[in-house]
Structure 1
Amino acid sequence: MEELLEREIILELKSKFFDLISTGRFSFSSSEVLSQMMAILKELLKAHEVDFYSCQEWNQEMYLETTTRLSSDDRVLETFPHCLVNELAAKPYAFIKYPESMPEHELLLVLKANEKPMGLFGFQMNSDTLNSLSDRFLDKLSSECNVFIEKVRSQAETLEEEKRYKQLFRVTKKFHSTMDMDAVLGEIISTLREVYPSFTYYLLLSHDHKGYGGLPVRDLEYDSDNLTAMQSYVSGQIQFEDSVIDKNSIMYAPLKGKQGVYGVLQVIAPNSLVFPQNEVEFIKLLANTAGSALENAKLYEQSRKLIADLQLINETSHQLNTSLRLTDTMKFICGQIIKSFNAQEVGFIMLDEEHDDYSVLKGSTSFFFSKDASNYILRVANQIRQGMEPLFLGDISDDREDSPLHFHSIMGVPMIQSGELKGFALVMHEDPYHFAFDTFKLLQSLIHHSTLAFTNSMLREELEKMVVTDHLTKLYSRGYLDEKMNLSMLEDQQGTFILIDIDNFKSVNDQYGHQIGDEVLIQLARQIANNIRGTDIGARWGGEELAIYLPGAPLETGVMIANRLVDKVEKNTNPNVTVSCGVSTWIRGQEDTTKTVFKRADQALYVAKGSGKNKVVVQNENNFDFSGTQE
């Protein structure tokens, strides 16, 4: 009679288990199936309460996972005794009545997989009810529970695997629909979080990154202490690392494409001595797919950057060939570098190797015309002079406490023409390691293409200056003065002209020779250049006669400058000479031409020479004014 009753209980149990699966109401998650299973067992065995403990592989401790109790605040960590493990391993399916190691339960039904305990059901029940159940029944009950759990797990794994590969298919489609590096990396992490919510992930990347919007991205450094990650990166193979101390197992999957490995995906499985083998293949496929997508995105970014770089060089070369003025050339190229490289300061430094000096070209940013710039210019100039090689400094060292360096990232590229060092371009930013090496290579190409245009601009302006400059005195030529004076009489309201002649110049040539005579002319020209404005024009009029034109200046200013010049020449020439000056002026509204202005100044000079020399005479109409003879 008891045997028949037990058989009916087993049949009813199997029927209820079958209904549980066939209804399809559950997604075969562990908690849902266990809860329903425990309710069925509680009803059939007339138990008071049923608890399910899961076995932690890494320490063989039992954790209460699910219970039929209304309150589970008294969940207690139980240790799975080794003697109990040995006892359970001896039977294909196990049950224990009145276990000494877990006295709060009258019956334990043990679940095993591959002869290893995976968990157990603990029953609190009436002793009489338990004693009425035969060992054969309990053995059969344990067997049926194991079979059911295995089927559920198998079906759950199938569904989970289907879900994962659907996810993999979806993410693969997304990978192939985007060329954005951030989107690819974000999708990797999003997929892992969805499929393995209890795992921890990191992307160890081998290339420069800026954080990627809060994603768990880390640098894969070559001197890293994480040797397993580096081994996975170098070998291109999956690596595992198990830690009893940290109670986890770690998988390192290389993110590799056809051309190389771009990083490593680090996946940390908690509370596991060995990484779950059924998850390895999926993560491997995800990493391989992600590696290909990263490669495609990287190649796409590189191609776009190459196109942008070529466009920059082409645009710059075109502009340099159409704009031949040096200042315009400098302003344009500085603007291009600041915009394309996100630089703060850009300067073009010309080197004077003969005098071991340098000059900053106009068009460079304002910092290079300050005193502080010399610290950087001299340091870079010395290094470039030594090796004639480009200079790339991520964080320039500061060995001077008295003048700390403000800019840390520095790129210096020499400008070499026909094997000769002409100067160098200097690009700086205050942040360390601001410039990428690709930026440095682009700058070299840009300067290489621009150097010829710089040289041509300088030669052209030097040639223009030679055309309008007297070779001996370095003052402007007579033709240039005529041209500028004609233009001034059209645009300005007034102007003053000074004609200068060296007194007794023939005696200087006779006494000292023509070479010394030329030196006297050069000294006079230097005094003129030092005593006029940048907008004024000093010129060689002819022979020993020099001239000054002051556009927009009144007669009083011209007389003052002429008197000062007379005084300076007498005191600062060697051999000592004196000069005479004739001054004339024009005012808009009067009928004047350059010829009449020249004629009046010439007449005034004639009077000065004939009345004692070493003086200033002003010719106004037909009158001569000697009041300007003293400053």
Structure 2
Amino acid sequence: MELLGERIILNLKSRFFDIISTEYHQLQYDAILEDMLVTIKQLMHAEEVTLYHYDERNQQLVVEASTNSEVKRNFVAIHFSYEDHQEMRLYRRPFQFHAFNHYDLLIPLRNNERIQSYLVLKKEGQLFSQLTEQVLEKLSVECGLFLQKAQKLTKLFVEEKRYKQLFRVTEKVHSTMNMKSVLGEIIDSLQAVYPTFTYFLFLSQDHKGYEGLPIKEFNYTSKNKEIMQSYVTGTIQFEVSITERKSILYAPLKGKQGVYGVLQVTSPNTLVFPKNEVEFITVLANTAGGAIENAQLYEQSKRLIADLQLINETSHHLNSNLRLTETMFYMSKQIVKSLAAEEVGFIQFSSAETQNDVQQGSTSFFFTDEAKPYIKYVKERLLKEKESLFIGDLKLSSETTQLSTYKSAMAVPMSQSNVLNGFVLVLHHDPYAFSFDTYKLFLSLIHHSTLAFTNTLLREKLEKLVVTDHLTKLYSRMYLDEQIQKSMQLDEGATFILIDIDNFKVINDTYGHQIGDEVIIQVSKIIHSNIRGTDIGARWGGEELAIYLPKVQIETGVKIAERLVQRVRESTNPTVTISCGVTCWKSEVQDNYQDLFKRADNALYLAKKTGKNKVVRQDS
């Protein structure tokens, strides 16, 4: 019998060695257990061999493997008290416990003197009765050692696979600077290694554009203290949900310069997060944090380069002697394109307390009544706070809950010599549509542009002063002469009106020269309000004024002159009248600058000679 037992043990060790050295099952623990039980069944001539694992925490017996497929398929974990477990010995007879009472042999398997598993056999012949206690003890020892080695080997194999996966992930995420690719690779790796776990990435930065990934915005007011603790301290935190029977790990996504979020990993059906998984997830989270940091630094450097190029290009363009309107249109286009703004307004103060002028180049919204509350609100805050505004959820009044169509707003004052001349306002319908980086770029653009705006404005004011009559604010005669000569070279025709204030000497003699000047000013304002922006109103000399109407036929010019005669008669104080001489030129008729003036002067002379307060027409 001793020889038989020794031969069984020797064959068992040899077969166990073959199982470990064979790689066809890729060292999967379940496959190794099945091979182990089949080997024992063959050597022991058993009908069935089953391995039970003792779950000490739950005091349960669980089937780990069996040569009888029905056993594992139908077995339900059963209660097995700790006292029963402690009293277990080597039995050669059926154990009087309902879980084992239909087996013929039970062999406890130890790990460091503690019984962790039970090997139970159902006999097929008489071999069991022929084995001595010593042989069964050796069988127990060899099977226990084999299980320990199998567990260690499979653990090493799994760890090797995981770290190969980690190496592959590290290599891949550090080879790309695309944030979505980095985050997607992290999630894919977790799903490959832990298919039963669930994951979420809580990012402290903008998480838009990552659709399809389990990503949430990091909420700084979150009541989840574990996630906040992990983010603030940069350490692993754990949470246990007894009611849902799950444990949660929070791993910070750390880089060299800070923490960029938190990885949440949920392990189901366990109240203690597996220790052997913590290290791997920690390393993976650190890898993710480093990759996120690199990707963000790369994106930041690209953005800074693009911003500098934009500022340089804009500054160069603005200093190329553009007209003010051209400057505003160019800046509006740049702001809409670079800042993704929906509306851009350039507001200039006509008076610090009253009027606001919306400059050409602003988007159409700012020329509507709907824009006035926004302009008023921003102006009041700028005058009060003297600082740029960056608003993510705009309410037009702090005292009421007045709703605004546009939720996001940025405003930068335009100042010269510490005097606030106006501001630039950009708007967007969505709340928090502008990032802080966008705000900083906006500040830089406007600060670099303000000097160009001011210089252009001053240059155009100076140009206007040169060509403008000081008293009437109409154009000077020199400017009128230049524009008529240009028009006669380029246009196909135009109408010219020469105007004289009737009995002006009587006004001066009766009321004085100051009132006389006031009368000239009143008549000039009426002229200015009754002509187009393309028409030219000018002071001809003394009380004589003139109007040049490019591309206007003489019939229309006569109607305009008649309207002016009526308006002056009805609106002036003291009441005065005017006389008008109207003429025209056409490209098909040989004509010149001097003859045009001469005809208008003759028509004016005839109007004054025949009763005044009238319009006389003289064609070419």
Fold similarity call, TM over 0.5: yes
Q: Identify the residue that residue 447 of structure 1 maps to in structure 2.
A: 446
Q: 1:501 to 1:110 in 2, by over 3 A?
A: farther
- 1:293 aligned counterpart, secondary structure: helix
Task: Please provide the CA RMSD for this pair.
Answer: 2.8
> What residue in structure 1 maps to residue 318 of structure 2?
320
Q: Give the direction of change, closer, same or farther, for the CA distance of 1:112–1:261 in structure 2 (3 Å limit).
A: farther
C-alpha contact (below 8 Å) 1:207/1:262 kept by paired residues: yes
Match of 2:15 in 1: 16
Residue aligning to 1:627: none
Change (3 A) 1:620 1:409: closer
Q: State the AA in 2 paired with 1:102.
A: A
Give the drift of 1:58: 6.2
Closer/same/farther in 2, CA of residues 401 and 260 from structure 1, 3 Å limit: closer
CA distance in 1, matches of 2:419, 2:93: 94
1:273 Cα shift? Answer: 3.2
| Residues paired across the two proteins, number | 618
Q: Does 1:88 pair with 2:90?
A: no
Mapped partners of 2:299, 2:400: distance in 1: 42
**What TM-score do the two structures reach when normalised by structure 2?**
0.92
Aligned equivalents of 1:72 and 1:397: distance in 2? 69
Pair 1:287–1:14, CA change in 2 (3 A): same
Are 1:335 and 2:333 an aligned pair? Answer: yes
Deviation at residue 471 of structure 1 after TM alignment: 1.4
In the TM superposition, what whole-angstrom CA distance separates every residue of 1:295-335 from its partner, at most 9, and x where no partner exists? 22222221111111111111111111114211111111111
Partners of 2:344 and 2:362 within 8 A in 1: yes
- Map 1:527-538 onto structure 2 (within 5 A): 527-538=526-537
The answer for the alignment partner of 1:229 in structure 2 is 227
**How far apart, in 2, do the equivalents of 1:223 and 1:124 lie?**
62
**Residue in 1 aligned with 2:351?**
353
Go from structure 1 to structure 2 and tell me whether the alpha carbon gap of 1:358 and 1:122 turns closer, same or farther (over 3 Å shift): farther
Larger mean CA deviation between 165-174 and 322-331 belongs to: 165-174
Aligned pairs for 1:479-490 within 5 A: 479-490=478-489
3-state SS of paired residue (2:618): strand
Displacement of 1:92 in angstroms is: 9.1
Partner SS, residue 331 of structure 1: helix
Determine the structure 2 residue equivalent to 1:601. 600
Judged with a 3 Å threshold, the aligned counterparts in structure 2 of structure 1 residues 439 and 479 are, in CA distance, closer, same or farther, namely same
Equivalent residues of 1:211, 1:217 under 8 A apart: no
Q: 1:598-630: per-residue Cα shift (whole Å, max 9, x none)?
A: 111111211221222111122347xxxxxxxxx
Distance 1:463 1:441 in 2: 33
In structure 1, the partner of 2:553 is: 554
Q: Cα deviations across residues 541-566 of structure 1 (Å, max 9, x unaligned)?
A: 10000111112222211221111211
Q: For residue 301 of structure 2, what is the aligned residue in structure 1?
A: 303
Against the structure 1 CA distance between its residues 393 and 50, is the aligned structure 2 distance closer, same or farther, given a 3 Å change threshold? farther
Distance in 2 between the 1:125 and 1:406 partners? 84
* Change over 3 Å in CA distance of 1:351–1:398 after alignment to 2: closer
2:212 maps to which of 204, 211, 214: 214
Range 537-546 or range 584-593, more displaced = 584-593
SS at match of 2:36: helix
Which residue of structure 2 lines up, in the alignment, with residue 629 of structure 1?
none
Deviation at 1:474, TM superposition (A): 1.4
CA distance in 2, matches of 1:403, 1:249: 46
Q: 1:207 to 1:94 in 2, by over 3 A?
A: farther
Q: What's the CA shift string for 1:406-456, capped at 9, x where partnerless?
A: 221211122222211121111112122111111111111111111111111
SS in 2 for 1:197: coil
Aligned counterparts of 1:179 and 1:62: Cα–Cα separation in 2: 51
What does residue 156 of structure 1 align with? 154
Which stretch of the first structure deviates more once superposed, 558-567 or 236-245? 236-245
Structure 2 Cα separation of the partners of residues 616 and 30 of structure 1: 112
Residues 117-140 of structure 1, C-alpha deviations (whole Å, 9 max, x = no match): 655445455697766665554443
Q: How does 1:613-624 map to 2 (within 5 A)?
A: 613-620=612-619
- Residue 42, structure 1, aligned to residue 41, structure 2: yes
Partner of 1:98: 95
| 2:496–2:548 Cα contact (<8 Å) kept | yes
Q: Is the 8 A contact 1:539 1:547 kept in 2?
A: yes
Give 1:202's aligned residue: 200
Gaps spanning 5+ residues in structure 2: where? none
Say if 2:350 and 2:356, in contact at 8 Å, map to a contact too: yes
Matches within 5 A, 1:453-468: 453-468=452-467
Please, what TM-score do these two structures have when normalized by structure 1? 0.90
Conserved 8 A contact 1:244-1:273: yes
Kept in 2: contact 1:57–1:271 (CA 8 A): no
Deviation at 1:532, TM superposition (A): 2.0
Offset at 1:289?
A: 2.9
Which of 284, 287, 301 is 1:286 aligned to?
Answer: 284
Q: What is the deviation of 1:199?
A: 2.8
* Structure 2 partner of 1:246: 244
Q: Deviations over 1:149-183 (max 9, x none)?
A: 11111122222222333333333333332222223
SS across alignment from 2:238: strand
2:432 matched residue in structure 1: 433
1:44 Cα deviation from its structure 2 partner: 3.2
**Unpaired runs of at least 5, structure 1:** 622-631
Q: Which range moved further: 564-573 or 71-80? A: 71-80
Q: 1:489 to 1:259 in 2, by over 3 A?
A: same
SS at match of 1:102: coil
Q: Name the % identity.
A: 54
